[in-house]
Amino acid sequence: MRTNLDFTPFIRSSIGFDRIFSLLDEATRFSANGNGPAYDIVKAGSDGYRIVLAVPGYEMTNLSVTQEGNILTVTGKLPETEATEHLHLGLRLGNFSQLFELADHVDVTGAELKNGLLTIALRQELPEALKPHTIPIGKPADKQIESRKAA
The CATH number of the structural domain formed by 32-81+89-128 is 2.60.40.790
pLDDT score recorded for residue 8: 73
Q: Quick one: pLDDT at residue 115?
A: 94
3-state helix/strand/coil string of the chain: CCCCCCCHHHHHCCCCCHHHHHHHHHCCCCCCCCCCCCEEEEEECCCEEEEEEECCCCCHHHEEEEEECCEEEEEECCCCCCCCCCCCCCCCCCCEEEEEECCCCEEEEEEEEECCEEEEEEEECCCHHHCCCCCCCCCCHHHHHHHHHHC
Angstrom distance (rounded) from CA 123 to CA 109: 7
Per-residue pLDDT tens over the stretch 101-123: 898 889 999 999 999 999 999 99
For the stretch 5-62, pLDDT in tens is 677 777 767 777 666 777 776 665 555 455 689 999 999 988 899 999 999 989 999 9
Of 115-119, 124-128, 140-144, the one with minimum mean pLDDT is 140-144
What pLDDT does residue 59 have? 92
- pLDDT at residue 74 is higher than 70: yes
CATH 2.60.40.790 residue ranges of the chain are 32-81+89-128
